[in-house]
Amino acid sequence: MEATSHDEFREFVAMRSTALLQLAVLLTGGDRHAAEDLLQIALMKAYGRWAHIEQPEAYVRQIMYRQQVNRWRLRRHRAETTVPVLPESGGEPGTASDSELRIALWAALGKLTKRQRAVVVLRYFEDLPEAEVAALLRCPVGTVRSTAYRSLAKLRLLVPELGPESPAEQVQSLSYTPKEVQG
């Protein structure tokens, strides 16, 4: 790799690694170690083709999506990593603060299957259309629709505190902060 390409790659990693790690954490269900591995693999693959990549962030994100899909397609099931228990609330009984809802949603995302989690993250966090999600996951659009429907229904069951607000809207507003993931 030429010196200029190497410098461009280092600059890209310095500027975009936080956002890419956030996506990786969501794709891995809150498992920071698996997310770091996922991002590392994607960056290694991108580095080898860096001089030929026109849209670096889109390229790296696509590698991450496909790498995560490969993990669940290979059926190497590992135990899901759980997030910390919800802290006791100082508010009124029966009401949940935004941070409690976020923690509950993180936990619920970890309980979805890898395919369900990938569909929810791509469809609602990344805000991609169904056709694009289907292309990325290499499955029919109908599968994306039914998986999204079932995933949102499961999120509603797992996090009843969401109330009338849609889990899809909650996922869109979800952002990664190390304290929420690591406890």
Cβ atoms of residues 68 and 38 within 8 Å: yes
Q: Is 108 helix (H, G, I), strand (E, B) or coil?
A: helix
Residue 116, CA distances (Å) to 50, 51, 157, 181 in order: 31, 34, 15, 19
Q: Which of 26-40, 42-56, 63-77, 86-100 has the lowest mean pLDDT?
A: 86-100
Q: With 60 as the cut, is the pLDDT of residue 77 above it?
A: no
Locus of tokens 């790690």: 21
Cβ atoms of residues 65 and 137 within 8 Å: yes
pLDDT at res. 5: 80
pLDDT at res. 166: 59
| Amino acid in position 114 | K
pLDDT at res. 22: 92
Confidence of residue 68 (pLDDT cuts 50, 70, 90): confident
Q: With 70 as the cut, is the pLDDT of residue 182 above it?
A: no
Record the pTM: 0.52
Of 21-35, 68-82, 88-102, 160-174, where does the model show the most confidence? 21-35
B/e letters for 49-87, b = 16+ CB within 10 Å, e = fewer, are ebeebeeeeebbbebbbbbbbebbeeeeeeeeeebeeee
pLDDT at res. 110: 86
Which runs of E-coded beta strand occur in the chain? none
